[in-house]
């Protein structure tokens, strides 16, 4: 049920809901034209109430208090102005949105999260309920999960099969959809951004993205299944120089395309570089990517996003970064592909960051001497002394 005094706003919310839930029964009420709902209004028969702050001669936050004092009132989501957020949350709303800044994907995911949380008997935080050889009864409609590939604090990767076509693909699933005051909102924003950025690009060395979906209480990205393992594994097995150069060309070509459309990767590492069975490279995981106009993010806890082993000196010190930071990371990877070792190591992350900024560029073994000048140009401490574009890597080779 939608309660707000502005018809256009009620229509907007109805459109968002009916687009995702075409079978939903949606009612709306105008408290200005129809008068305020009676004191005995309990919300019965509704799964969720969407309350706007246009309530005529009453303050929206006062209506919240009136509604939520009734036992068993449905989930209540409030749409107001920024100054009302604190009061609305203190009064116990299940979710809060800025009235003038409602994103479809964020709205649907958060409403799904609220609805499922209300239905769940237990709150395990799991992506799946039930258990069949490690808990797979998916809430992701349209996909049959095969096995878990990897997980992090914010997301998990699953090999899955699309039921309609039988095609294998990878689902990247956000583990927790944040409520409005959840500290993981940044992770959710980066998750959605990952899809939006990659979907703009068509390149043989960039993973193909098929779909962004919202299923029950989780968002997911459906992407190409890359069945050749990752570059990290290939480095462990050992890479001959000619193959390392081939991989370098392909990664640099993908980066050039990424940079061309105004994107930085900012987390380039062997674990984010996958291979197909034909031995071609595919760049993945743009979760830390940012438009060039945006500055590097550092969390409130001081965490620097990225992996210290592959960070440029400027990224490690929280300075503004550009394409040349990705080129530095690629230089680190090239060194590791040739030698099997990382160029800088330390017992602490800060020790590694210090060496990236201060230690000399490492020398390659004599058998790889022909690539030393290229490595010097990729791992220069100052960005202006590096190759200035990813395309230059291929040109130099």
Catalytic site positions: 267
Are the C-beta atoms of 79 and 51 separated by less than 8 Å? Answer: yes
Non-local CB neighbours of 116 within 8 Å, separated by 6+ positions:
139, 216, 217
Q: Give the DSSP letter of residue 281.
A: E
Q: Please tell me the chain's helix, strand, coil percentages from 3-state DSSP, rounded to the nearest 5.
A: 40, 20, 45
CB neighbour burial string for 84-102, b if at least 16 within 10 angstroms, e if fewer: bbebbbebebbbbbebeee
Sheet bearing 28-29, strands edge to edge: 28-29, 2-3, 48-52, 75-80, 95-98
Non-local CB neighbours of 100 within 8 Å, separated by 6+ positions:
none
Tokens describing residue 249: 């060309």
Non-local CB neighbours of 136 within 8 Å, separated by 6+ positions:
128, 130, 145
Q: Which of 310, 266, 301 is nearest to 285 (CA)?
A: 266
Return the residue matching tokens 């099969």.
161
Tokens describing residue 258: 């990424």
Which helix (H) or strand (E) element contains residue 325? helix 323-339
Q: How far is CA 360 from CA 31, 97, 317, 354, 379, in A?
A: 70, 51, 17, 11, 9
Grouping H, G, I as helix, E, B as strand and the rest as coil, residue 396 is helix
What single string gives the DSSP state of each residue in 202-238? --TTB--EEEEEEETTEEEEEEE--TT-BHHHHHHH-
Q: Which of 224, 227, 218 is nearest to 191 (CA)?
A: 218
**Angle between the 185-199 and 104-119 helix axes, to the nearest 10 degrees?**
130
């Amino acid at each position: 049920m939608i309660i707000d005094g502005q018809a256009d706003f009620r229509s907007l919310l109805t459109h968002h809901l009916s687009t995702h839930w075409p079978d939903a029964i949606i009612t709306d009420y105008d408290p200005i034209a129809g008068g305020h709902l009676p004191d005995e209004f309990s919300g019965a028969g509704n799964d969720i109430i969407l309350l706007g702050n246009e309530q005529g001669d009453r303050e929206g936050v006062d209506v919240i208090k009136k509604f939520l004092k009734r036992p068993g009132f449905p989930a209540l989501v409030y749409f107001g102005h920024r100054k009302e957020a604190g009061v609305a949350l203190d009064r116990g709303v299940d979710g809060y949105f800025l009235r003038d800044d409602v994103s479809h994907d964020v709205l649907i995911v958060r409403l799904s999260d609220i609805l499922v949380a209300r239905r769940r008997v237990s709150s395990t935080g799991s992506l799946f309920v039930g258990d069949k050889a490690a808990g797979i009864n998916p809430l992701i409609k349209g996909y049959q999960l095969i096995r878990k590939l990897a997980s992090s604090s914010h997301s998990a990767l699953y090999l899955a099969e699309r039921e309609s076509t039988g095609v294998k693909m990878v689902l990247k699933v956000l583990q927790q959809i944040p409520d409005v005051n959840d500290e993981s909102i940044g992770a959710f924003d980066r998750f959605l951004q990952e899809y939006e950025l990659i979907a703009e690009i068509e390149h043989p060395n960039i993973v193909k993205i098929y779909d962004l979906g919202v299923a029950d209480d989780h968002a997911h990205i459906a992407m190409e299944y890359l069945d050749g393992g990752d570059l990290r594994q290939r480095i462990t097995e050992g890479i001959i120089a000619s193959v390392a150069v081939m991989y370098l060309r392909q990664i640099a070509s993908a980066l050039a395309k990424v940079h061309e459309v105004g994107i930085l990767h900012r987390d380039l590492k062997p674990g984010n570089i996958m291979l197909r069975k034909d031995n071609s490279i595919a760049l993945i995981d743009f979760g830390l990517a940012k438009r060039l106009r945006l500055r590097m993010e550092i969390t409130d806890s001081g965490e620097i996003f990225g992996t210290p082993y592959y960070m440029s000196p400027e990224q490690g010190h929280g300075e503004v970064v550009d394409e040349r930071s990705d080129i530095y990371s690629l230089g680190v990877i090239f060194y590791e592909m040739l030698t099997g070792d990382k160029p800088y190591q330390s017992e602490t992350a800060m020790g590694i960051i210090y060496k990236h900024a201060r230690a000399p560029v490492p020398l390659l073994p004599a058998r790889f001497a022909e690539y030393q000048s290229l490595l010097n140009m990729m791992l220069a401490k100052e960005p202006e002394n590096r190759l200035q574009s990813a395309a230059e890597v291929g040109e130099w080779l």
